[in-house]
Amino acid sequence: MSGAPALEVDLEVTVGRGAAAFSVASRFSLPSGVLVLFGSSGAGKTVTLRAIAGLLRPTRGSVRLAGEALFDWMRGVDVPAERRRIGYVPQDQALFPHLDVLGNVVFGLPRAERKKPGAATLALLDELGLTALRDARVGSLSGGERQRVALARALAAEPRLLLLDEPLSALDRPSRLAIGRSLREALARRSLPAVLVTHDAEEAAAFGDVFVRFERGKPARELPREVVLGEKGPCPHCGKP
């Protein structure tokens, strides 16, 4: 892709109405790898993520994926969410409760592939350790398993970018480590760029290549890695400095 950054974002998003309304301004770019949006809750991280996905309409600005404009306020470009090919794993995973694990994973695939899962789907289930669970009801899954299903569902649709909202925060420590490893491997294997939202500096440092800090009432800004690390020591359990 002729050297265009994986993702370029320059957005102002307004949510709510009247007195409850607030605006989030952010400007950042990701050459490749994982971009971490971090900061306290209520600072607009999730809102920014949803704007990148095309799920809410920014007040102005632009979003470019590998050089292609997905949103450009000046030129009137607004590609609908279903044509952006951006995978989204929301905070509570939002698994479809009326479908089993396999039904969730193949949800975004063409009808023929949904009826009879092909080799790629089976390989994906295997990669994320879901083969034994493929017929399980999603209501019976543990937090870590839910996260794997949500990840598999997003990856199955072959996205060009993956958005992850607090993917590890609801998990206990052993699953955090395991899911974190699966996630990093899955991204690396596909050279898939990702945007990860977290309020945890440790998690930010473990995943990120580029860091953007959100604070309520201020424009989001990029931070050098050392500053993020300085807020807390290197991740003691997942090995990454």
Binding footprint of another protein on the chain (CB under 8 A): 50, 53-55, 80-88, 90, 92, 94, 96-98, 107-108, 139, 153-154, 157, 159
Please state the closest distance from residue 212 (CB atom) to another protein, in A. Answer: 21
Would the CA dihedral through 215, 227, 66, 148 be positive or negative?
Answer: negative
Please state the closest distance from residue 86 (CB atom) to another protein, in A. Answer: 6
Please state the closest distance from residue 162 (CB atom) to another protein, in A. Answer: 10
Closest to another protein by CB, 157 or 178: 157
Closest to another protein by CB, 85 or 225: 85
Nearest in space to 53 (alpha carbons), one of 90, 7, 84 = 84
DSSP run (H or E) holding 34: strand 34-39
Please state the closest distance from residue 69 (CB atom) to another protein, in A. Answer: 18
Q: How far apart are the C-alpha atoms of 78 and 58, rounded to whole Å?
A: 10
Closest to another protein by CB, 108 or 180: 108
What is the end-to-end Cα distance of the chain in Å, rounded?
30
Please state the closest distance from residue 158 (CB atom) to another protein, in A. Answer: 10
Contacts of 184 (CB under 8 A, 6+ apart): 207
Closest to another protein by CB, 85 or 221: 85
Closest to another protein by CB, 17 or 173: 17
Please state the closest distance from residue 7 (CB atom) to another protein, in A. Answer: 15
Contacts of 9 (CB under 8 A, 6+ apart): 26, 27, 28, 29, 48, 52, 61, 62, 63, 64
Nearest in space to 167 (alpha carbons), one of 155, 64, 157 = 155
> Vertex 40, ends 53 and 96: CA angle to 5°?
40
Closest to another protein by CB, 98 or 115: 98
Contacts of 67 (CB under 8 A, 6+ apart): 1, 2, 4, 5
